[in-house]
């Protein structure tokens, strides 16, 4: 069967000689893939034009809801994806990481998009910067989606997760995407895309896929496009040096395979909980996806006195792993993705053996299911030992992208940190220790060289997601050899697909650009209290100046009794004077309560509930005898998608009788819509 690409709104077949794709277990031909004849320039133009019409006008919340619906749709179809994943050599657990992990990432970004981004298409980054003495000239940063296409080039080992973890933040930002999966496992990614297109959940032009090579696609890129790459450092380096990437200063996010490490702490002696957890984690990372993970543990760094114990424990654990046909329930590790990868790992292993000795190689028979072993791409888990790791370079430079790891010993924590840093930049390093002081030393020592550090002890192990599992909320990437990029990291990754622009002007002008009242901007009142207006009737800048209230000593003492807050500054003049106050001072939270009493309407109004309070600052003390007054202004209005209500942000300023600001904050309320 020839795999089709989805380009410029239709499924198309490539011309010319296709690449033959083979079953990882049996070696038989299963698909053909090729992209010759596809107009890559047209693909990019189609994405840009469709994106402008159908994606960018939508809000972050609308896109987030589409991601949620898409995740639900793919969840209902995942059994078929599991069946295809088996052809790549993946066990059920391997496929779970890939398929459920990818779908889970869609759910995660759907949730974060609605919680952390506004229900509009512009993101305001940070607060207002006052750039003039009188406050009439201010500055603020906004982020808007780039007007190009996000091109995602993915590795073979995670055809679903690798695709969806890039697509989710890019689409949430407002960019259409072109997916280029690794050809060897592209049939899994293509089937998922087929379901995405058939669901009609996404806008037209949001997603295209290339099953085959990228051809001359890079020649058609512009400064508004983004390229992300996952794969080998050598390939990523070559792509990043493409003339168009350099000439157009095109954003290029690279996540490449690195020599990740797992380090055993000095306190984690044999018999301790941390020692057992360490052995379990190393063995799991060596065999999950047959060691074909960009985050896999390549260097096992342990105290010199425990080297023999570690090798013995790993030997025992690895010997009990059942390897063979992943369709069998008892099998815990399948083959490599193909015979080419098998040859590649064999070659790299031979290079590593120049300075390391083999201390373990899997000897059990592979479990079979009617398939001759010599036709598959199986590889025996192998453990090497480097006796003098500080004097050789091979284990810190050469990666066998399969079930191969090298054990090495260290004398001091400084030696351990130096060994880790010899990897020249990694995606992840992990440390197993119950000594928090050593954890601090280790983490701060290797942090400049790592995108993620996992520290595990008996307290965190049970709920830990593991060394090799990047989470959508946290950064996935790393410096140096690891590529220097960040694929994930919550909303941070969304910003990778947006342009941050500094705006300068009057507070009123800036507020009109990004749809939010800016302090110092124009306000207006129509004599109607804003709390009595429905969500639809509120406008940015609606404002009232309340009446006044004089704070009394009796107020302070009654609030102390009601709240139980008898802090000395509120209750004792002499002690208050010995601190920073002139005399007894009113509770800050009483000032807030009294302020609310000045602006809240007591009747049945469209305001449904207090939704929260942000940015609170107490600027000046309020003493008994002071008089307060409140300026309440509509700061922003954010409709809640699919609901007859919205969130209103109110700018609140509390003044004293000298018109000095004593408290400022943003109040959030739920307000009913008509």
Q: 620 and 661 in contact (C-beta within 8 Å)?
A: yes
188 three-class SS: helix
Q: Are strands 138-145 and 498-505 parallel, antiparallel or unpaired?
A: antiparallel
Q: 13 and 192 in contact (C-beta within 8 Å)?
A: no
Residue 487 lies in a domain: no
> What pairs with residue 632 in β-bridges?
544, 652
Residue 663 lies in a domain: yes
Q: In what order do the strands lie in the sheet with 19-22?
A: 2-3, 29-33, 19-22
Rounded CA gap, 40 and 450, in Å?
36
429 three-class SS: strand
On the question of pLDDT at 27 being above 90, the answer is no
Please check whether residues 478 and 355 belong to one and the same domain.
yes
Please check whether residues 343 and 276 belong to one and the same domain.
yes
Please report, for residues 46, 111, 169, 440, the alpha-carbon distance to residue 496 in angstroms, rounded to integers and kept in the order given. Answer: 22, 19, 9, 30
Please check whether residues 596 and 477 belong to one and the same domain.
no
On the question of pLDDT at 165 being above 90, the answer is yes
Q: What is the CATH number of the domain that holds 241?
A: 3.40.605.10
| Burial class (CB within 10 angstroms; exposed 0-12, middle 13-18, buried 19+) of 400 | buried
Residue 490 lies in a domain: no
Please report, for residues 523, 534, 650, 654, the alpha-carbon distance to residue 529 in angstroms, rounded to integers and kept in the order given. Answer: 14, 11, 13, 17
Residue 514 lies in a domain: no
> Residue 125 — left, alpha, or beta (φ > 0 → left; ψ -120 to 50 → alpha)?
beta
Residue 501 lies in a domain: no
Instruction: Give catalytic residues, as residue numbers.
Output: 255, 294
> Residue 596 — left, alpha, or beta (φ > 0 → left; ψ -120 to 50 → alpha)?
alpha
On the question of pLDDT at 370 being above 80, the answer is no
Residue 508 lies in a domain: no
Q: How confident is the model at residue 551 (pLDDT cuts 50, 70, 90)?
A: very high
Boundary (domain end) residue, out of 234, 254, 274: 254
Please check whether residues 595 and 538 belong to one and the same domain.
yes
Boundary (domain end) residue, out of 414, 449, 482: 482
On the question of pLDDT at 355 being above 90, the answer is yes
Residue 43 lies in a domain: yes
Element (H, E) at 583: none
What local confidence, expressed as pLDDT, does residue 374 receive?
75
How far out from the chain centre does Cα 110 lie?
12
Rounded CA gap, 336 and 290, in Å?
6
Q: 530 and 538 in contact (C-beta within 8 Å)?
A: yes
Please check whether residues 46 and 91 belong to one and the same domain.
yes
Q: CB within 8 A of 126, min separation 6: which ones?
A: 140, 141
* Half-sphere exposure for 237 (CA within 13 Å, toward CB): 7
Looking at the 3D structure of the chain, how many domains does it have?
3
Give the E-state strand segments of 473-591 in sequence order. Answer: 477-478, 485-486, 498-505, 543-550
Please check whether residues 533 and 456 belong to one and the same domain.
no
Residue 128 lies in a domain: no
The region of weakest confidence among 27-36, 277-286, 493-502, 545-554 is 27-36
Please identify which residue in the block is written with the tokens 């080297």: 307
What local confidence, expressed as pLDDT, does residue 138 receive?
93
- What is the per-residue pLDDT across 252-271, written as a single tens digit (0 to 9) for each? 999 988 999 999 999 999 99
Rounded CA gap, 360 and 311, in Å?
8
Q: What is the DSSP string of 71-137?
A: HHHHHTTHHHHHHHHHTTT--HHHHIIIIIHHHHHHHHHHHHHHHHS-SSS-EEEEEEEE-STTSSS
Please identify which residue in the block is written with the tokens 């960019």: 175
Average per-residue pLDDT for the chain: 92
Please check whether residues 220 and 280 belong to one and the same domain.
no
Structure tokens at 509: 């002008």
Please check whether residues 242 and 282 belong to one and the same domain.
no
Q: In what order do the strands lie in the sheet with 543-550?
A: 543-550, 627-639, 645-655, 661-672, 607-618
Question: Angle between the 60-75 and 186-199 helix axes, to the nearest 10 degrees?
Answer: 120
Q: How confident is the model at residue 413 (pLDDT cuts 50, 70, 90)?
A: very high
How far out from the chain centre does Cα 614 lie?
24
- What is the per-residue pLDDT across 436-448, written as a single tens digit (0 to 9) for each? 999 999 999 999 9
With pLDDT > 90 as the criterion, what percentage of the chain qualifies?
Answer: 73
How far out from the chain centre does Cα 355 lie?
38
Angle (CA) 438 444 450, round 5°: 120
Q: What is the CATH number of the domain that holds 430?
A: 3.40.309.10
Angle (CA) 440 394 154, round 5°: 75
Give the E-state strand segments of 186-277 in sequence order. Answer: 207-209, 226-231, 251-256, 260-264
Rounded CA gap, 144 and 194, in Å?
30
Q: How confident is the model at residue 309 (pLDDT cuts 50, 70, 90)?
A: very high
| Burial class (CB within 10 angstroms; exposed 0-12, middle 13-18, buried 19+) of 372 | exposed
- Neighbour count for residue 505 (Cβ, 10 Å): 17
What local confidence, expressed as pLDDT, does residue 161 receive?
92
Please check whether residues 307 and 416 belong to one and the same domain.
yes
Boundary (domain end) residue, out of 449, 482, 515: 482
Please check whether residues 295 and 197 belong to one and the same domain.
no
Structure tokens at 232: 């080998």
Domain with 388, as residue range(s), is: 260-482
Rounded CA gap, 228 and 291, in Å?
23
pTM comes to: 0.90
Please check whether residues 354 and 233 belong to one and the same domain.
no
Q: What is the CATH number of the domain that holds 636?
A: 3.10.129.10
Please check whether residues 565 and 648 belong to one and the same domain.
yes
On the question of pLDDT at 353 being above 90, the answer is yes
Q: 468 and 108 in contact (C-beta within 8 Å)?
A: no
């Amino acid at each position: 069967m020839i795999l089709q690409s989805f380009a410029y709104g239709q499924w198309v077949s490539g011309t010319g000689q296709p690449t033959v794709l083979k079953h990882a277990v049996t070696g038989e031909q299963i698909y053909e893939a090729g992209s010759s004849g596809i107009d890559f320039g047209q693909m990019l133009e189609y994405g840009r034009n469709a994106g402008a019409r159908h994606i960018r006008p939508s809000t972050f919340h609308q896109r987030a809801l589409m991601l949620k619906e898409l995740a639900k749709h793919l969840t209902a179809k995942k059994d078929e994806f599991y069946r295809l994943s088996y052809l790549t050599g993946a066990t059920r657990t391997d496929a779970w990481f890939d398929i459920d992990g990818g779908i889970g990432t869609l759910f995660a970004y759907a949730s974060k998009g609605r919680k952390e981004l506004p229900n509009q298409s512009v993101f305001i980054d940070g607060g207002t910067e006052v750039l003039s003495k009188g406050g009439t000239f201010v500055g603020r940063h906004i982020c808007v989606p780039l007007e190009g296409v996000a091109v995602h080039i993915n590795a073979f080992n995670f055809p679903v997760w690798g695709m969806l973890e890039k697509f989710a933040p890019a689409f949430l930002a407002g960019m259409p995407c072109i997916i280029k999966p690794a050809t060897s496992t592209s049939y899994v990614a293509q089937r998922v895309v087929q379901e995405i297109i058939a669901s009609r959940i996404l806008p037209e032009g949001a997603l295209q896929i290339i099953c085959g090579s990228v051809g001359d696609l890079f020649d058609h890129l512009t400064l508004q496009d983004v390229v992300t790459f996952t794969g080998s450092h050598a390939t990523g380096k070559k792509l990043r040096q493409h003339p168009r990437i350099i000439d157009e200063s095109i954003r290029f996010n690279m996540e490449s395979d690195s020599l990740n490490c797992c380090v055993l702490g000095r306190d984690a002696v044999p018999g301790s909980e941390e020692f057992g957890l360490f052995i379990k984690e190393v063995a799991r990372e060596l065999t999950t996806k047959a060691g074909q993970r960009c985050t896999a543990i390549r260097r096992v760094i342990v105290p010199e006195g425990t080297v023999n114990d570690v090798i013995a424990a790993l030997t025992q654990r690895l010997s009990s792993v059942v390897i063979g046909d992943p369709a069998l329930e008892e099998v815990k590790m399948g083959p490599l993705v193909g015979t080419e990868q098998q040859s590649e790992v064999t070659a790299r292993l031979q290079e590593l053996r120049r300075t390391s000795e083999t201390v373990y190689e899997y000897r059990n028979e592979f479990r079979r299911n009617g398939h001759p072993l010599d036709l598959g791409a199986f590889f025996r888990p192998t453990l090497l030992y480097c006796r003098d790791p500080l004097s050789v370079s091979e284990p810190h430079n050469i990666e066998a992208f399969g079930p191969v790891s090298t054990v090495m010993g260290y004398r001091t924590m400084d030696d351990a940190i130096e060994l880790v840093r010899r990897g020249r930049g990694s995606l992840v390093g992990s440390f197993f220790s119950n000594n928090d002081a050593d954890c601090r030393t280790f983490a701060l020592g290797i942090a400049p060289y790592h995108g993620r550090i996992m520290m595990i002890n008996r307290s965190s192990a049970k709920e830990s997601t593991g060394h090799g599992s990047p989470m959508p909320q946290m950064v996935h990437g790393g410096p140096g050899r690891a590529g220097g990029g960040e694929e994930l990291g919550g909303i941070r990754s969304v910003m990778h697909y947006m342009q941050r622009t500094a705006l300068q002007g009057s507070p009123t002008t800036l507020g009109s650009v990004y749809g939010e009242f800016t302090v110092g901007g124009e306000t207006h009142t129509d004599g109607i209290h804003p709390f009595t207006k429905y969500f639809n009737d509120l406008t940015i800048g609606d404002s009232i100046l309340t009446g006044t209230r004089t704070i009394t000593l009796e107020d302070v003492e009654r609030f102390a009794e009601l709240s139980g807050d008898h802090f000395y500054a509120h209750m004792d003049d002499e002690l208050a004077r010995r601190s920073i106050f002139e005399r007894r001072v009113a509770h800050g939270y009483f000032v807030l309560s009294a302020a609310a009493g000045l602006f809240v309407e007591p009747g049945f109004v469209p305001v449904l509930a207090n939704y929260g309070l942000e940015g609170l600052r107490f600027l000046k003390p309020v003493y008994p005898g002071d008089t307060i007054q409140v300026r309440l202004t509509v700061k922003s209005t954010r409709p809640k998608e699919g609901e007859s209500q919205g969130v209103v942000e109110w700018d609140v300023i509390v003044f004293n009788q000298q018109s000095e600001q004593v408290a400022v904050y943003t109040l959030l309320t739920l307000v009913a819509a008509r």
